[in-house]
């Protein structure tokens, strides 16, 4: 028989038990410590007081028993039970005594006195309170140096009941006071410990979520928390510098990826992406877009006769003049070598594109001054293509403008020509 494989789910439950806050933990800890301290102190006080009260009660019962024994001596000798009970009542009635029993030498009860007026509940409370106290005092009644009877006095436990109730009340009062003080201390700890930690956590969360490296932890009066905050702020300083440096590097890399290093103009990839977006917008709006394909004249001659540095200076000058002469919203880019291209969105007709091309040609009439003072006069040839009149996509529009530019160079009779 093939054994059956039982697969158990070893994944943890997605629900995570909510952890208590630091403030809650501190409050619980303080409450437990306060309760333990008060309880221990209460037990110690009760034990000491019980020992003292037990000794006092025992001595007091012995003293009362001797007094009663001396008082009832005559009544016992003359066998006057009523006189004995009356004498006992006069002494025991004003003391914390529950019962006085007089027995003869054979152990038989001669007279007994019990405190009247105590209900069942009162007697139960007194008996409960009497448990930790001595069992009573027993003294002999002497006559002519002979024992004629025995006196047994049992305490009422009233004093201990009062002490017990007072002790419980004092303990409860102490607990209330300590809890009140604990609340004040907890608030103090919350202000001095919990709030700074919470503020630090909020800053940490803001840095993690929003990359807010400019946030800082505020000062706190506790030295350890202040040191922690200073270290965290120093770390944020390093992160902020790192982020700023990284942003600059990313911006530099993005610029280098999309712009020509020599002239600073957009490169072919960036220009074609921008041209594609412009054509899409023009299709939606129903407008025309002009494209000028620009090529420098005599650039090879300048490179061969004056050197590459002079050629680079001429290219930079041409790029600057083209950029300054175009309208706001137009874009000029360098495709490579001495080839440039200008994007003219939102044109009304072909004549407007030709006017802009003539203005660009006129900017080249002023000589270009090189670093050594040499002046060079150059010119440009411009091919003009229109969307949607001559082409409907990026590649076709560039080819049309390029073909028009080469026609200008072949003919040599004008600075610009419109594509056919």
CB 289 within 8 A of CB 344: yes
For residues 129 and 306, give the distance between their C-alpha atoms in angstroms, rounded to a whole number: 122
Q: Which of 96, 260, 295, 338 is catalytic?
A: 338
The two three-digit tokens of residue 117, written as one number: 């007026």
Residues 187-226 as b/e (b if ≥16 CB within 10 A, e otherwise) read: eebbeebbebbebbeebeeebeeeeebebebeebeeeebe
Q: What is the DSSP string of 285-316?
A: HT-EEEEEEEEESSHHHHHHHH-HHHHHHHHH
Residues 6+ apart with CB under 8 A from 150: 102, 103, 105, 138, 139, 140, 141
What's the CA gap between 41 and 56, in Å, rounded? 22
Residue whose C-alpha is closest to residue 298's, from 374, 401, 381: 381
Long-range contacts of 369-374 (CB under 8 A, 24+ apart): 370/306, 370/310, 370/313, 371/309, 371/313, 374/306, 374/310
Q: Which two tokens stand for residue 55?
A: 């000794």
> Would you state the structure tokens that stand for residue 360, as one six-digit string?
């660009």
Whether 130 is a known active-site residue: answer: no
Measured distance CA(129)–CA(171) in Å, rounded: 18
Contacts 24+ apart (CB under 8 A), 265-271: 265/319, 265/323, 265/332, 265/333, 265/334, 265/340, 266/331, 266/332, 266/333, 266/334, 267/333, 267/334, 267/335, 268/333, 268/335, 268/336, 270/333, 271/331, 271/333, 271/335, 271/341, 271/343
Catalytic residues: 338
């Amino acid at each position: 028989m093939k054994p059956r494989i039982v697969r158990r789910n070893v994944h943890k439950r997605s629900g995570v038990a909510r952890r208590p806050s630091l403030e809650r933990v501190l409050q619980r800890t303080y409450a437990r410590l306060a309760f333990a301290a008060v309880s221990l102190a209460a037990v110690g006080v009760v034990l000491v007081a019980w020992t003292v009260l037990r000794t006092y009660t025992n001595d007091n019962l012995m003293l009362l028993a001797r007094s009663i024994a001396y008082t009832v001596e005559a009544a016992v000798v003359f066998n006057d039970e009523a006189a004995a009970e009356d004498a006992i009542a006069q002494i025991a009635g004003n003391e914390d005594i529950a019962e006085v029993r007089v027995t003869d030498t054979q152990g038989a009860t001669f007279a007994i006195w019990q405190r009247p007026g105590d209900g069942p509940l009162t007697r139960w409370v007194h008996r409960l309170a009497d448990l930790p106290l001595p069992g009573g005092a027993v003294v002999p009644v002497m006559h002519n140096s002979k024992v004629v009877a025995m006196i047994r006095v049992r305490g009422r436990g009233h004093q201990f009941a009062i002490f017990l109730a007072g002790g419980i009340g004092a303990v409860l009062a102490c607990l209330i006071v300590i809890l009140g003080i604990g609340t004040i201390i907890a608030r103090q700890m919350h202000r001095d410990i919990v709030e700074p930690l919470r503020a630090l956590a909020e800053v940490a969360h803001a840095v993690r979520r929003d990359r807010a490296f400019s946030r800082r932890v505020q000062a706190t009066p506790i030295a350890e928390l202040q040191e922690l905050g200073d270290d965290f702020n120093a770390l944020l300083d390093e992160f902020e510098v790192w982020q700023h440096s990284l942003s600059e590097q990313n911006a530099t890399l993005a610029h280098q990826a999309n712009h020509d290093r020599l002239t600073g103009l957009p490169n072919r990839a960036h220009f074609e992406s921008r041209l594609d977006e412009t054509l899409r917008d023009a299709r939606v709006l129903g407008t025309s877009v002009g494209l000028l394909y620009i090529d420098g004249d005599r650039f090879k001659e300048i490179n061969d006769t004056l050197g590459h540095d002079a050629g680079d200076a001429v290219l930079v000058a041409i790029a600057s003049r083209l950029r300054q002469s175009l309208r706001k919203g137009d874009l000029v880019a360098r495709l490579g070598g001495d080839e440039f291209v200008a994007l003219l969105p939102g044109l009304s007709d072909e004549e407007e594109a030709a006017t802009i091309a003539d203005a660009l040609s006129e900017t080249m009439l002023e000589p270009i001054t090189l670093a050594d003072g040499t002046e060079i006069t150059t010119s440009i040839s411009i091919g003009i293509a229109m969307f949607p009149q001559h082409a409907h996509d990026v590649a076709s529009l560039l080819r049309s403008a390029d073909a028009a530019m080469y026609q200008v160079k072949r003919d040599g009779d004008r600075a610009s020509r419109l594509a056919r």
